[in-house]
Amino acid sequence: MIRPKSLALVLLMVLAPARVVLAQDAPQADEAAEAEKKATEPFHASPYLPLDRWEYPILEYWVSAGLIRSLSPIVKPWRRMDIARALADLDESRLGGAEKEWLARLRSSFAPELQQLSGPPGQSVYLGLELAAGAELATQTHRDLLRPELEGEFSETKILEDLRFDVDGAAGPVAGGFRLQRHGIYRNDAQYPGGRVVPKLDNAFGGEMSVRVEEGYLEFQSRYARIGFGSMYRNWGLPNLDGFLRSDYAYSQEEVSYRVGTDRIYLVGMFASYGDYRADTTHYVAIHRLEIRPIDDLVISVSESSVHGGPGQSMDWKLINPVGIWQIARTDGDPPYNKLGQVDVWWQTGVGFNVYGGLLADATNDNGSCCQMGGSLGVEVPRIAPGLLLRANFSALQSLAYTPNNIEEDRVWERYTVEQIGIGWDKADLYLVSLEAEWFPTAGLWLRPKLDLQVRGAFDIRDDRPPIEALPDWPRILVGDAETTVRPALEGRWRSDWRWPLEVDWDVGVNFISDYANQPGDNRTEFVGNIAVRLRTPRWDFSLN
């Protein structure tokens, strides 16, 4: 469409033999040229960058600031090759402060992928290996620091060992990763029966082993389709929030995953068969997300999740198939199942700040039960100064979201626990307000001062759902006497530039708690936090062109 103010230029284009490109059309032309370039360049299969890596904070900051537009602000992890391509396209002249030093470190971290991008066409075979050893000092072993354990064995300060073996690589159209970890949290997680994440096993050397395959996957990749098998941590959360339907807070599980589409529009999802501690049965879990990015500055997505199963119950293809997103409004109860739907929006307004939000509905339209609701709303100012961001989030989750629709004697299989079925945000029955800043003062140092205010009702997401008649205030967000926690804290990470880098992670703060454990009058002030130190090997890369 021709704008009126451009009429004179249009006439010149008609009358003059020279080709004139309108200034306001240049961005569209650049986008078209970039899309054509990407479609014609060689495609490289690539493993994913694990979500706990040091590279994510600065990359996410550049995504929020609009300096990187090719990576999703919500769906993570990202492929290593896609990160390398984003770094290659980054306009270095827009960086300030210590950002150029960060960029130099990132280019070193992704040197094999950058070399592939700049080299001759052809898929190389490569392997990356990295080891780490360290320990974590934790004042408690409940991983949610806004849920302090102030009594009992999980409230004791502990030193938890941390040993890691990471390997990933790609060959032809296949990419994969394998992460083996021994960590003391596997014997002391307050959210697991007895604190044990992994089963207790006898071994030839005596004692207990606390080793877990954190990730182990193979994925077949092409430009417009991927299908994977194995376990991988994922987070589909808004900025600095765990995803409602999928987060990396829940421990990874074996699953079948897929992604189909382009960077602008794609369908991503997975399905899995999970066991249950409380019953000798199986639950089938499926999650699907349709993400659309009509312009660089706007992301819109629709997601759904379903859980079904029980004694003698087989998998229902209608609930786990890749187009299951359209089953969100299904109302029949055969088989009985729990379902959740969600809408997310992320918008970079172009006037110096971003806004984002998500809305969750649980048990949608099931026998008139709609809905238990949850949601988040946030705003961030990503360029107060180079390397400095401010953010505010508000979240609320109505009581009993994520829990079974009906607990009856003939449906005891629905008594699943968050440890085994919870694959999304591990919170319920609360209001949460967070104010925070992110600062990258020098290469390798990331700081996040924050202030959290959480008001939490008496319902525990791990409990069975009580009968409706026992909750006369059912429509309300909070149930029972609320516990209020105010927590000023400092989170951060420092990573040296040594050949064998040293990493220090911390999240330390003071919890001012009113009505602890929902008991009126029980007020506490406690230091709650953790600090971890790890020595890593350099990443050893092996390639064969």
Provide the strand spans (E) within 61-115: 75-76
pLDDT tens, position by position, 294-330: 999 999 999 988 877 766 677 888 888 877 655 655 5
pLDDT of residue 322: 75
Q: Are strands 483-495 and 502-514 parallel, antiparallel or unpaired?
A: antiparallel
Position 414 pLDDT exceeds 90: no
For residues 53 and 405, which has the higher predicted lDDT (pLDDT)? Answer: 53
Burial class (CB in 10 A: 0-12, 13-18, 19+), 388: middle
pLDDT of residue 416: 41
Position 338 pLDDT exceeds 80: no
Please tell me what DSSP assigns to residue 416: -
**Dihedral sign, CA of 514, 520, 521, 526?**
negative
**Rg from Cα positions in the chain:** 25
pLDDT of residue 297: 94
Class of domain 56-544: mainly beta
Average pLDDT over residues 422-433: 84
pLDDT band (50, 70, 90) for residue 13: very low
pLDDT of residue 210: 83
Alpha carbon distance 167, 165 (integer Å): 7
Average pLDDT over residues 124-139: 94
- Classified as helix, coil or strand, 410 is helix
Average pLDDT over residues 439-452: 97
- What average pLDDT does the structure give for the chain? 83
* Angle ∠(196,197,201) on CA atoms, nearest 5: 70
Q: Which of 236-250, 289-303, 420-434, 498-512 has the lowest mean pLDDT?
A: 420-434
- Domain ranges in the chain are 4-38, 56-544
- Classified as helix, coil or strand, 178 is strand
Reported pTM: 0.88
- Classified as helix, coil or strand, 171 is strand
User: Measuring CA to CA, how many Å separate 46 from each of 28, 166, 373?
Assistant: 29, 15, 37
- Other CB atoms within 10 Å distance of the CB of residue 307: 22
- Classified as helix, coil or strand, 106 is helix
CA neighbor of 517 nearest in space, from 432, 431, 457: 457
Alpha carbon distance 168, 164 (integer Å): 13
CA neighbor of 232 nearest in space, from 213, 245, 210: 213
Q: Which of 12-16, 297-301, 453-457, 513-517 has the lowest mean pLDDT?
A: 12-16
Position 265 pLDDT exceeds 80: yes
pLDDT of residue 277: 44
How many residues are present in the chain? 545
**Dihedral sign, CA of 199, 201, 206, 210?**
negative
pLDDT of residue 272: 87
pLDDT of residue 318: 80
Position 408 pLDDT exceeds 50: no
Position 470 pLDDT exceeds 90: no
Q: Which of 92-96, 410-414, 452-456, 516-520 has the lowest mean pLDDT?
A: 410-414
Average pLDDT over residues 507-535: 96
Position 200 pLDDT exceeds 80: no
- Other CB atoms within 10 Å distance of the CB of residue 332: 9
pLDDT tens, position by position, 170-193: 999 999 999 999 999 999 998 887
Contacts of 454 by beta carbon, 8 Å cutoff, 6+ apart: 146, 430, 431, 432, 433, 484, 485, 487
pLDDT of residue 222: 95
Average pLDDT over residues 432-446: 97
- DSSP bridge pairs for 78: none
Alpha carbon distance 94, 115 (integer Å): 23
Q: Are strands 298-309 and 211-221 parallel, antiparallel or unpaired?
A: unpaired
pLDDT band (50, 70, 90) for residue 104: very high
Average pLDDT over residues 352-376: 76
pLDDT band (50, 70, 90) for residue 156: very high
Alpha carbon distance 59, 389 (integer Å): 13
Contacts of 295 by beta carbon, 8 Å cutoff, 6+ apart: none
Alpha carbon distance 520, 153 (integer Å): 24
pLDDT of residue 85: 96
pLDDT of residue 391: 98
Position 384 pLDDT exceeds 50: yes
pLDDT band (50, 70, 90) for residue 129: very high
Q: Are strands 298-309 and 282-295 parallel, antiparallel or unpaired?
A: antiparallel
Position 336 pLDDT exceeds 70: no
- Other CB atoms within 10 Å distance of the CB of residue 48: 25
Q: Which of 295-299, 408-412, 478-482 has the lowest mean pLDDT?
A: 408-412
- DSSP bridge pairs for 291: 266, 301
pLDDT of residue 417: 41
pLDDT of residue 431: 95
pLDDT of residue 372: 72
pLDDT of residue 345: 97
- First CA to last CA across the chain, in angstroms? 48
419 touches 383 (CB < 8 A): no
197 touches 212 (CB < 8 A): yes
pLDDT band (50, 70, 90) for residue 55: very high
What is the token pair recorded at 295? 């312009």
DSSP string, 421-457: H--S----SEEEEEEEEEEEEETTEEEEEEEEEEEE-
Q: Which CB contacts under 8 angstroms, 24+ apart, belong to 468-472? A: 471/399
Please tell me what DSSP assigns to residue 161: E
What is the token pair recorded at 423? 């694959």
What is the token pair recorded at 70? 């090719």
Q: Which CB contacts under 8 angstroms, 24+ apart, belong to 219-223? A: 219/45, 219/174, 219/175, 219/176, 219/257, 220/173, 220/174, 221/43, 221/45, 221/46, 221/173, 221/174, 221/175, 222/43, 222/173, 223/39, 223/43
Average pLDDT over residues 70-79: 96
Average pLDDT over residues 450-457: 96
Contacts of 338 by beta carbon, 8 Å cutoff, 6+ apart: 306, 307, 308, 362, 363, 403, 404, 405, 414
For residues 196 and 232, which has the higher predicted lDDT (pLDDT)? Answer: 232
